[in-house]
Each structure stands twice: as structure tokens, then as C-alpha cells.
Amino acid sequence: MSDTRSQLKQIAIEQIRRRTLHAASFRELGKVAGIKSSSVHYHFENRDALLLELVKDYEQDFFIRLEQRCHELSDPGQQLQQLAALFLLSQQSQYQCLCLAFAAAGDETNDQQRAAVEQFLQRLETWISAVLARAADHADSAPQLARVILSALEGALLLDRDQPQAPRLNAVSQWLTTLIRSHSDQQPETL
């Protein structure tokens, strides 16, 4: 991938995550990159193709980071904490979830983009559900609870966007701590 193409994608991601989907127009991307908007067309067929590529890249990058954080963790509570930590890092950078920006854009997105966002959300719900299923207390309700957790994280990230202390995200993170007792708490005491 060319340096300019990579730079344009990075600018688009930052513009969307800091502002809205509207901020990723070819004119705006060219302006920020210091090139003509017609030059942006050289790198991407059209804006829809760029946006679809961004969602797919975001999903891949998100799960790479999540797996790196959870690679050596077997405790479901710790794994959920690492998920919450990713959301807190976004908030500290004043970023929203890229997929949340797409979801908020409504009719501005096309069917392929909406399907890619839904794929990301379902994949994350499946990951959360698998983590919850390993916790005996939540195995039966894991899929439904996974949706609640994802909704709480996404909503808190949006509501805390300009808050220096992230009160809602921190509340969700603390709730996740109490939701699943660590494996050591579940182990029977030995004499």
C-alpha cells in the first residue's frame, strides 16, 4: 500500500473517530493531507469504497489489539477488563468507536457498510459471550448479557466523549469487575 494511501486512510479514521462520518469527504481528506481532492480519487475508487475498507480494517485492528491484551489471560473478569480498557483508551484520545460513528450516520451509509458494522458488532458480542460462558454464573445468559455489555461500553464511550474523567465508562468498567468474580474467588478453600 502506498504511503499516501495509508496516510489518507489514517486521516479518514481520525476524522471520523474525532468528529463524524461527514468529516471523511474526499475534499476534507485532500485538504488535511495537503493534496487535491481529485488526487484522493487516485487512491480510492469512491468514498463508499474507502469507508467500507475503513470498517474492515478497524475490525481487524480492534481484534488484534484485544487478543494481544488477553493472550495470556484465562480469567473472564480480567479479559472483560481489557476490553473496557480499550474503550477507555479511545475515550482518553477523544475518539469514538469507528463503528459507532457509522451506526450514528444512518442513511449516509450503504448496505455493505452497515453489514460490515453489524459484522464487527456481532463478532464482538460473540467474543464477549464466549468470555461470559466461561464464567459459570453467566453461561446461560451469555449472549443477551454480551449485548448489554457492548451497548453499555459503546454508549458510555459516546456520552463520555468530552468528559475528562470518563465517569460512565469507569462505571461500566467497575460493573464488569463485579459482574464476574475472579477464578480465585470461585475456587473452594483448601485446608
For residues 2-26, give the mean pLDDT: 92
pLDDT at 140: 82
pLDDT at 181: 65
166/144 same-domain check: yes
165/94 same-domain check: yes
pLDDT at 188: 44
pLDDT tens readout for residues 99-127: 989 988 988 899 999 999 999 999 999 99
pLDDT tens readout for residues 125-170: 999 999 999 886 777 889 999 999 999 999 999 999 888 899 999 9
59/87 same-domain check: yes
Indicate the residue type of 188: P
Report yes or no on 189 lying in a domain. Answer: no
| Domain, as residue range, for 10 | 1-44
5/35 same-domain check: yes
pLDDT at 80 over 60: yes
Cell numbers found for residue 135: 464464567
31/53 same-domain check: no
8/86 same-domain check: no
31/54 same-domain check: no
Average pLDDT, the chain: 90
Model confidence at 1, pLDDT cuts 50, 70, 90, reads low
Q: Which residue has the higher pLDDT, 190 or 29?
A: 29
90/31 same-domain check: no
Report yes or no on 170 lying in a domain. Answer: yes
CATH number for the domain spanning 174: value is 1.10.357.10
pTM of the model: 0.89
Report yes or no on 191 lying in a domain. Answer: no
